[in-house]
Structure 1
């Protein structure tokens, strides 16, 4: 008869299972991103005592919302082997439209709905140019980057910001819930980001639509032979990306109490693209996860927060983000080359 000691699971097995589950969720390719984030946190915390305060940590969550929403949509686009450089301009146009709806017509629901709808419409314009005119996504969205920015200034009365003084609408950008005692509360925009990122993660990892995005990015020919309508998929993907950029623009309006054609949304495309590539996506498509993109957004937000706490000028932050984009793309290209070499060795071994 076996002793009760041999029947018990080995010590630490529960911790091991937890670690394995966490690794599967994050993805082995993103463990280096977690390590980089941990090192960054240690470096910043060693220089300032304010980093780990509840208010500062929650501020990081609030500040990553706008970029995070755009990065969710950008993940879908890049995994499908596309690119959307116009998302910052889409957010700017949506910001102005939502401000006009709230300030002139007094409808908060209309402000949110029209901002998101305009974003989806402009995303559809991108998809139309790419699919029917057969223009490269980089060239197409570079053109609409300029066109949509001009549209934002055309919508704004005389090209000026539109003020919004509705306190209820402002809650969408800076409101907090669960404020208890000295706890500053969880930012509402951060909750919105978590919900949308959670839905997107489920769609990308557990639905036919998500698997179709990976297939069309990794092997468009196989996707077509499998019956996936690539044209329709591109319209869905770019419309979703545009809608999320529109929602980001609405949140910028609510946070700043004004609809800004450019300020607050300029440079969003660079940060979102950097985050998605840092999160494991590659230019060729077929790779990338929502979890990886959100980890990268957290890394970028932590970097900006730490630099602000340490009084480092903004232009240094721009240099750091530009370097991160170069590093992210280089790592992605290295991963792709390594995968191709492994496939070649495997094919040679079978042939031998």
Structure 2
């Protein structure tokens, strides 16, 4: 080319490979979604479709299922298990497992009751001691894995039994320690609702924040010479999100409103999602879960990441235990027992977190626990016993794992890892 010739128009670097290009409009997004689904990258589509099917079936069998009153109860019931499932997402991302989250939540609940009621200490101190104990347990798991090479399955299985015994020892023969009904913790978990105007403000702010984050991300991509999502598409997404959130607030406010306890869960989900997707530590979690040896050679402190994942898991499990005790206004011997462990793991997996590590998001806990609690709520309204809930939840979990395995093989076949 001579100096007199016009240089070719600049082309975004990633447009040379359609798998890397950012979709521009609706058609591009639709084609990209179809291509990713064909290649095994299903994302959250299966679980969203599952929620729609479950809600449709239960609403057809009982007209009160989608009533405002029942959905408010559902929002309350999701929280403690959902917070525990958030911790499970952290350890699954690094390719590990924690089978003791139920027992850890029980220890935290018992600790809260003992410090707050038996020793008559302030609520804040009781909660801090309980959550701090959870963080210490996670640190111990990290040391056992890193220093002695004990598989997390074995270490946390031992922890399940040990901390169940600790919970019973803390209660010392008492079936339950009742928390004061007029305490801030109990009121927060039972009767505190977001004021209606403030709830609408949160909904609009969330949509605005989504749009602002998308525009900022698009500008960074353009500066780097990469393709970016169109402003029109981002605005359409933000408008749809805002409309959905405003309608949800309106519908829940037809009875009691949006629980503050549920808002706390949403904040935790968003905070963890930010950590996972917008920080170096979050990228390290995915890298270690994808290939620990490659992550180590890339300079990532793999042992530190393992320890941090277990600390996050146990801390969130303890937080879930405190919230469960607040919801029941009691810390008893059954807190964290029964099916809490399996339901927390099932929620993370059903929501889309891979058992093989390296894939998942904080929203997996939200969607997964929504599926599990929807099944439980629907069967309760139909006056069916818990045996059906176990069977259905087990079947849904099996389908989720089968889809994950099939998608993983498909991604590998199409070079998506």
Whether the aligned pair in 1 keeps the contact of 2:82 and 2:344 (CA below 8 Å) is yes
Match 1:246 to one of 300, 318, 334: 318
**Cα deviation, residue 265, structure 1:** 4.3
Distance 1:326 1:28 in 2: 17
Match 1:156 to one of 171, 174, 193: 171
Match 2:90 to one of 62, 76, 94: 76
The aligned length equals 327
Superposition RMSD in Å: 2.3
Match 1:105 to one of 103, 114, 120: 120
Match 1:115 to one of 130, 137, 161: 130
Could you report, residue by residue, the CA deviation over 1:103-139 in whole angstroms, capped at 9, with x for unpaired residues? 1324111121111111111111221221111111111
Counterpart of 1:191 in structure 2 is 263
**Cα deviation, residue 75, structure 1:** 0.5
Alignment of 1:40 with 2:16, yes or no, is: no
Counterpart of 2:382 in structure 1 is 310
Alignment of 1:176 with 2:176, yes or no, is: no
**Cα deviation, residue 58, structure 1:** 1.2
Could you report, residue by residue, the CA deviation over 1:254-310 in whole angstroms, capped at 9, with x for unpaired residues? 111211233354322211111111122222211111123311211111111111111
Cα separation, partners in 2 of 1:107 and 1:330, compared to 1, 3 Å: same
Counterpart of 1:221 in structure 2 is 293
Whether the aligned pair in 2 keeps the contact of 1:249 and 1:265 (CA below 8 Å) is no
Aligned with 1:162: secondary structure? strand
Counterpart of 2:108 in structure 1 is 94
Distance 1:98 1:138 in 2: 27
Distance 1:261 1:228 in 2: 41
Query: Which runs of structure 2 are paired with 1:328-347 in the superposition (5 Å)?
Result: 328-343=400-415
Whether the aligned pair in 1 keeps the contact of 2:93 and 2:359 (CA below 8 Å) is yes
Query: Which runs of structure 2 are paired with 1:268-287 in the superposition (5 Å)?
Result: 268-287=340-359
Distance 2:303 2:333 in 1: 31
Gaps of 5+ in 2: 1-23, 34-40, 197-252
Aligned with 1:44: secondary structure? helix
Distance 2:398 2:277 in 1: 27
Distance 1:155 1:283 in 2: 34
Query: Which runs of structure 2 are paired with 1:255-266 in the superposition (5 Å)?
Result: 255-266=327-338
**Cα deviation, residue 178, structure 1:** 3.3
TM-score by length of 1: 0.87
RCO higher in 1 or 2 (8 Å CA, sep ≥ 6)? Answer: 2
Distance 2:299 2:25 in 1: 43
Cα separation, partners in 2 of 1:159 and 1:148, compared to 1, 3 Å: farther
TM-score by length of 2: 0.74
Q: Which has the larger radius of gyration?
A: 2
Could you report, residue by residue, the CA deviation over 1:75-114 in whole angstroms, capped at 9, with x for unpaired residues? 0100110000000000000000001122132411112111
Whether the aligned pair in 2 keeps the contact of 1:149 and 1:262 (CA below 8 Å) is no
Counterpart of 1:288 in structure 2 is 360
Deviates more, 1:288-297 or 1:247-256: 288-297
Aligned with 2:414: secondary structure? helix
Alignment of 1:133 with 2:205, yes or no, is: no
